[in-house]
């Protein structure tokens, strides 16, 4: 941008050019909704012809719902200015967008409102990305909480980040008490079992490891677990499955087989005596 002399310097035009460079739309509007000035980015955001001069035309009604505009106007007329207000809006063709708005009321020497100055930033991509992320997180949470297995997430230092409802019931964990704590605070005997070092190795190498059957700390009761540990981002994920019922059935089967074997041997001995 060229330097301007004091003779041809126009503060408002300089502002418009600066906002264009920042991709910020600007419009100055009279009390009766007539555009007094605007920059080209305003046209771009609302879908006008980029070069069209909108001065002395009626400003577009860009609000999507009356509740939003009523809340906004209440704050504006109370404070005279509203900053970084994010709301759904619509372009000239009706396309829905999200805008971050700053609006200031201008008053004359008598304190009467004569116009308003408004700046707009199109934050549609950011808002939609945030919405998608939120929806994805909600789906993941629903999936994890409906799972019959325990899911637990740790950071790179093996501090608790999150876990599902099955983890709460299986291990008697309380999120408010556990999140942020190190796994050794909850399972102090973990180093003795060797699993703590294996967890660190998973985080370091990314190579998962599995345990088909183990009994955790006695504080969790008489349960048998199958467990897999794997790297998640720069942290650790652990899935634990309660196989206690399976182990009981296996034990009954072994006992049954032993009894049948002993009976068979006993019958064989009786026949041999005969």
Contacts of 45 (CB under 8 A, 6+ apart): 25, 91, 97, 99, 120, 122
pLDDT lower than 50: segments of the chain: 1-6
> What pLDDT, in 10s, does the model give residues 7-33?
555 676 776 677 777 789 999 999 999
Task: Give the pLDDT confidence score for residue 216 in this predicted structure.
Answer: 62
Cα-based distances in Å from 30 to 10, 40, 152 = 20, 19, 58
The topology under which CATH files domain 147-247 is Beta-Lactamase (3.30.450)
CB 106 within 8 A of CB 113: yes
Domains 11-128 and 147-247 in one fold: yes
Closest listed residue to residue 119, CA positions, set 41, 56, 32, 50 = 41
For the four alpha carbons of 12, 15, 19 and 20, in that order, the dihedral sign comes to positive
Task: Give the pLDDT confidence score for residue 273 in this predicted structure.
Answer: 55
Name the burial class of residue 274, with classes exposed (0-12), middle (13-18) and buried (19+) by CB atoms within 10 angstroms of its CB.
Answer: exposed
Cα–Cα distance for residue pair 123/23, rounded to 1 Å = 11
Q: For residue 133, what is the enclosing H or E element? A: helix 124-146
Q: Residue ranges per domain, the chain?
A: 11-128, 147-247
DSSP 142: H
CB 222 within 8 A of CB 198: no
Supply the Cα-derived Rg of the chain in whole angstroms: 34
Task: Give the pLDDT confidence score for residue 5 in this predicted structure.
Answer: 40
CB atoms under 10 Å from CB of 133, counted, come to 10
Task: Give the pLDDT confidence score for residue 1 in this predicted structure.
Answer: 36
CB atoms under 10 Å from CB of 146, counted, come to 10
Task: Give the pLDDT confidence score for residue 81 in this predicted structure.
Answer: 95
Cα–Cα distance for residue pair 41/47, rounded to 1 Å = 10
At 127, is the secondary structure helix, strand, or coil? helix
Task: Give the pLDDT confidence score for residue 269 in this predicted structure.
Answer: 53
Query: Going by CATH, does the domain composed of 11-128 fall within 3.30.450.20?
Result: yes
pTM, two decimals, is: 0.59
């Amino acid at each position: 941008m060229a330097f301007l002399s004091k003779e041809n310097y126009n503060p408002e035009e300089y502002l418009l050019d600066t906002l264009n460079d920042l991709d910020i739309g600007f419009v100055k509007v009279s009390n009766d909704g007539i555009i007094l000035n605007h920059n080209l980015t305003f046209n771009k955001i609302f879908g006008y012809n980029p070069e069209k001069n909108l001065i002395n035309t009626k400003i577009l009604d860009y609000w999507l719902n009356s509740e939003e505009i009523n809340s906004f106007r209440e704050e504006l007329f109370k404070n005279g200015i509203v900053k970084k207000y994010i709301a759904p809006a619509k372009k000239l063709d009706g396309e829905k967008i999200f805008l971050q708005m700053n609006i200031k009321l201008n008053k004359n020497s008598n304190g009467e409102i004569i116009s308003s100055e408004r700046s707009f930033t199109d934050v549609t991509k950011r808002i939609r990305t945030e919405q998608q992320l939120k929806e994805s997180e909600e789906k993941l949470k629903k999936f994890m909480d409906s799972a019959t297995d325990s899911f637990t997430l740790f950071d790179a230092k093996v501090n608790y980040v999150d876990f599902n409802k099955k983890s709460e019931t299986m291990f008697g964990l309380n999120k408010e008490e556990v999140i942020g704590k190190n796994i050794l605070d909850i399972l102090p005997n973990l180093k003795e079992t060797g699993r703590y070092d294996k967890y660190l190795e998973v985080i370091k190498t990314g190579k998962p490891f599995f345990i088909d059957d183990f009994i955790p700390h006695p504080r969790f009761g008489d349960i048998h677990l199958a467990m897999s540990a794997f790297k998640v981002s720069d942290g650790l994920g652990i899935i634990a499955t309660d196989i206690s019922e399976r182990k009981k059935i296996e034990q009954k089967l072994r006992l049954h087989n032993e009894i049948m074997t002993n009976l068979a041997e006993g019958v064989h001995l009786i026949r041999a005596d005969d």
